[in-house]
Structure 1
Amino acid sequence: MATKKTQILILPYPIQGHINPMLQFAKRLASKSRHLILTLLLPTSHARSISSHIGSINVQPISDGADQQGQQFQTAETYLQQFQRAVPGSLDDLIRLERGHDQPQPTILIYDSFFPWALDVAHSNGLAAAPFFTQTCSVSSVYFLFKEGRLSDEMELPHGIPRLEQRDLPSFIQDKENSAHLLELLVDQFSNLDEADYVFFNTFDKLENQMVEWMARQWQVLTVGPTIPSMYLDKCVKDDRSYGLNLFKPNRESCRDWLCERRASSVIYVSFGSMAILKQEQIEEIAKCLENLQTRFIWVVRETEMAKLPSEFVEWNLSSGLGLVVTWCNQLDILAHETVGCFVTHCGWNSVLEALCLGVPMVGVPNWSDQPTNAKFVEDVWKVGVRAKEDEDGIVKSMVLEKCVRAVLEGEKGEVVRRNAGKIKRWALEAVQLGGSSDNNIAKFVTGLALKD
């Protein structure tokens, strides 16, 4: 008798940093069983420019309302509000339609943890439901403790979390008044978590072992990370060489060719992700730092930020030839290259995780959201980098940044950081290899689905 096929629906928050880890998780699931059909649900405003398949993963458009109104959204917050209004109904309609066909039935919805309402939609249609947290267990626990009114200077934090100063907290907790909507979004992740059939985290056990154990006592937690393409880790998922989805166009060949001409561990890589908008003064301070260091560098400056580059810096770089300034790049290619010795990063979790997996020391210049807390862990828990201290206006000055970069690249501190980075790189590989903690959790989930059928 032929084994029945099972469809898994996956609903990410529709930005690059949330789509990619959930897409990678889908690829890992597909590699575990040929009887699984993975369908990534992307809003129609995104799906128009994306293929109907990304490798073995189906891409299914779901109406976010923007297609009906043809409107442009001024901020991420206004789009999210529109998304929250339109997608619950669209998701309900899509599930009902899928269940009315003879094709393999969806049995579970894996949704971004930002969308707790998705659990209610799934359960009302007879599907299991599992949130996927794109942030660490430790950061997520801070939001949970805040929700419970248990986050204070006096409290003893759960295992694995160091004592956090105000500057180490997620920015939405630091500035509650101006971040009310986004803070509500993050706190609401826990509103119905007790009802979830599984709770997935993009982390791995050894990285947060005490915190993972604490959270697993609260919910049905499974760590399934790191969710980066298999080519950069275990190389066990066929043809998994990239995320497969880019909302920005990378300068891939120019970066690779430029790096091949440099010596090992000599290049500084500077990037602040796909969303950060830096102040003019901060960009000027970074430019000064790079000039003072007189070291080879690649600096990613998105097209929308290019006008902020000081003309003196542009002229200096043209004459010195020390650096390469690009509007976007394949970050994994850069971090995996032997010539890169330091990553100056905003400490978004995807960027930190990529650096951890590839053993690259970091200098943290956090901007918002979970980044300050991630930077704290980079420096004081995992000890794979340093955090640059900002001034009273929130600006990291050039001399401060220069000192941090030199600390990571040179001397005794640099040796310790590189040694720790190499150790965690091995942990990451172990987690996804056959029999590793994340591999076992993924296999356990897939086996559970088969038994339910």
Structure 2
Amino acid sequence: MEKETNNAYKAHCLVLSYPTQRHLNPMLEFSKRLEHKGVKVTLVTTRSMSKTIHKEASSIALETISDGFDEGGFAHAESIQAYLERFWQGLLKLPLSEPEILLPGLPPLQPQDMPSLIYDLNTYPAFFDMLASQFSNVDKADWVLCNTLYELEPEVVDWMTEIWPLRTIGPTIPSMYLDKRIEDDKDYGFCIFEPNSDACMKWLNDHAKGSVIYVSFGSLAVLNAEQMEELAWGLRMSNSYFFGW
């Protein structure tokens, strides 16, 4: 690969190295060769390691992450296992100054645009482990069933079908509201909260079509005061009616 004529890079490569000199130096040399071929490279190491590096003049960008032991590194960890756990958490929260989180059908995402259980591992560590483990053997599955429909997000579906044997099975709502194949199927699953459907429907019917925003928090989310205030201001500035669940 070579640089484009306008001096732009064709790709941006993130190079991750375990924070020891015998790992970092070979990765730095490899990064130089990649950049020489026209690939933008960002080399990542820990903050504790970066404080000890006597960096030679190089065009390679250097980003740092926290391994949980920013002052002393590995020597200050209580065990190898404890250090590795904190090290991998740091990688998952990598604070790149030029994020390349690109997903089909979505604009470029900043780290804070991701769900909090991904962006801040300290919020829901158990749920992160549970969700991550669900995909540990996904490559062995005969089918991957997704609650969506192709027309809703074709870019995502096309992208995923190139990776897994994906089939869309949505929207999974009662048949009477969709294809009417199941007679009298009007009830939507279980409800773990006490519903007030009549009041909600009456309130909705008093407003024009398309004038109400529905805010869904889910059954597990816990918002702090700052998040609730930001959400409230966003809803107010929308100049729309809203209700949540």
TM-score (norm: length of structure 2): 0.49
Q: Which has the larger radius of gyration?
A: 2
Which of the two has greater helix per residue? 1
If asked which structure has higher relative contact order (CA below 8 Å, sep 6+), I would say 1
